[in-house]
Every structure is written in structure tokens, then in C-alpha cells.
């Protein structure tokens, strides 16, 4: 198995499905089924999910709110999504643990690296909520940081696009897709994969990233079975 321990990064917006806001039950159930599939095939799975379907720190700043305050609100939004995904996974019979970077005793364990690794070794899916616990860091940064801390083999960034393109494929018909690309090439071409903090963490720690379309059921399993899906970013 090429990638035994993976960190799956999901965007909050993707949970909206066809809705304008909040969580689409069908979409989260579909995600849970896909995660169950790779979990049952022997992969150790950790997950970080954004909160953009509920609240974004950046939007708070635009409204005149202090950025720090807004970012903490965004972290709480990620916890709502994390709890929803935990419930969906457990309804599919998958044992999970939710760890939070901000202490919330009633609903989650505090993030403890050794404990997280032990859960993974015991076959539990671990969801990391509340970002890094610090303002000014995105959930992309949280995903990169947690992946490095738990010694993940790869970050799988699930999006609604099937990889990295030379331009936005939804706006430019001539955009070409990359099957593989280096970190340096992404820098040089100014492509938007993750925010730079997260991206630099992955580059410096030699942690590959695959950007793929999570909204097509079966893609996650195919990718981990070796199919040529998405775009691989590596050194």
C-alpha cells in the first residue's frame, strides 16, 4: 500500500451540496460512504474540514469585525462540520474520534498528537477540528500541520475540480490539467493549490498533496488504488 496513513482535507463549502448555506445531508452521507470504503481497505484516515459553509473569518473582517474574533468564529464553524461528519461516519458504522485544537470537553478530546496516532493505529478515523487553534491560519494550514505531526504519507485535498489546471477551468475552456507538478512549478506559475503557509509547510517537510474531485463517488477509492485521478504535487 503506497499511502497507508492519509490526511483528507475537505472544504466546508463542499458540504453545502446544492444548498446555499449549511450542510446537505446527502452530500455528507456520500462523503461518509467513501471514507468508510477506504477505511475498510486498510487505510488510516485523518480528516480536516473547513467551515466556509457556515462562517468565514475573512467575511467577518469585510464587515468591520476584528479578524482575530472572526477567525475564532470560523474555528467554531469547523467544529460544527466536524461533528456532523463524525455523526455521518458513525451512522455508517465507522469508529471515529474528534479532537479539537480549542478545548471543548463536552464534545471533543483536546488535540494530543500521541493520542491521535494511537487512535489511527487502532483503526479509528480521527477528525481534527478548530483549525490550528490560532487566528490568521487557515484550515489548509491546519491540514498541513496535522498531517506532518501524525506522519501522514500524503494529503488528499478534495475539491469540486478534478485537479490543478493552468487557469480556472470553469472560466477558461483552454485551461490544461496537470497530472503531476512540483512545488516549485506551482510557485513559479502562481497556481492556487493551498494558501502559501500550508503549501510551504508541505514543501519543506516533503509531504505530497493530491488535489482531486471528491464530489464524484468512487474517486477516493480509485485514487488510493493507484488510478490516475487528480493532480499530484511533490518535490
21-39 per-position pLDDT tens digit: 999 999 999 999 999 999 9
Confidence class for position 61, pLDDT limits 50, 70, 90: confident
Q: Is the pLDDT of residue 234 over 80?
A: yes
* Grid cell for residue 75: 474555528
Q: Give 75-89 pLDDT, tens digit per residue.
A: 999 999 999 999 999
What is the mean pLDDT of the segment spanning 149-174?
Answer: 92
Check the CA dihedral 210-187-71-64 and report its sign. negative
Q: What would the 3-class secondary structure string for 165-189 be?
A: ECCCCCCCCCCCEECEEEHHHHHHH
Note the pTM of the prediction, 2 decimals. Answer: 0.95
Query: Cβ atoms within 10 A of the Cβ of 20, count?
Result: 6
Mean pLDDT lowest for which of 72-76, 171-175, 205-209? 171-175
Whole-number pLDDT of residue 82: 98
In the block, which residue shows the cell 490568521?
A: 136
d(CA 14, CA 31): 10
d(CA 35, CA 224): 11
Whole-number pLDDT of residue 2: 87
Confidence class for position 219, pLDDT limits 50, 70, 90: very high
The secondary element (H helix, E strand) that includes residue 75 is: helix 67-91
Question: Domain spanning 5-234 has what CATH number?
Answer: 3.40.1160.10
Distance of CA 187 to the CA centre of its chain: 21
Amino acid at each position: 500500500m503506497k499511502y497507508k496513513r492519509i490526511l483528507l482535507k475537505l472544504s466546508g463549502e463542499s458540504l453545502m451540496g446544492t444548498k446555499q448555506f449549511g450542510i446537505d445531508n446527502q452530500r455528507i452521507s456520500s462523503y461518509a460512504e467513501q471514507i468508510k470504503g477506504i477505511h475498510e481497505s486498510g487505510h488510516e484516515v485523518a480528516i480536516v474540514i473547513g467551515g466556509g459553509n457556515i462562517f468565514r473569518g475573512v467575511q467577518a473582517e469585510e464587515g468591520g469585525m476584528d479578524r482575530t474574533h472572526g477567525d475564532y468564529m470560523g474555528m467554531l464553524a469547523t467544529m460544527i462540520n466536524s461533528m456532523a461528519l463524525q455523526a455521518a461516519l458513525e451512522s455508517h458504522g465507522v469508529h471515529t474520534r474528534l479532537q479539537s485544537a480549542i478545548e471543548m470537553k463536552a464534545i471533543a478530546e483536546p488535540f494530543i498528537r500521541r493520542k491521535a496516532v494511537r487512535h489511527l493505529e487502532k483503526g479509528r478515523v480521527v477528525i481534527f477540528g478548530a483549525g490550528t487553534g490560532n487566528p490568521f491560519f487557515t484550515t489548509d494550514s491546519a491540514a498541513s500541520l496535522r498531517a506532518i505531526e501524525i506522519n501522514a504519507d500524503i494529503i488528499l485535498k478534495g475539491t469540486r475540480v478534478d485537479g490543478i489546471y493552468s487557469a480556472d477551468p470553469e472560466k477558461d475552456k483552454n485551461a490544461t490539467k496537470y497530472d503531476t507538478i512540483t512545488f516549485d512549478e506551482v510557485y513559479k506559475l502562481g497556481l492556487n493549490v493551498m494558501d502559501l503557509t500550508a503549501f510551504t509547510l508541505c514543501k519543506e517537510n516533503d509531504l505530497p498533496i493530491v488535489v482531486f474531485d471528491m464530489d464524484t463517488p468512487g474517486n477516493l477509492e480509485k485514487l488510493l488504488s493507484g488510478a490516475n485521478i487528480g493532480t499530484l504535487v511533490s518535490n
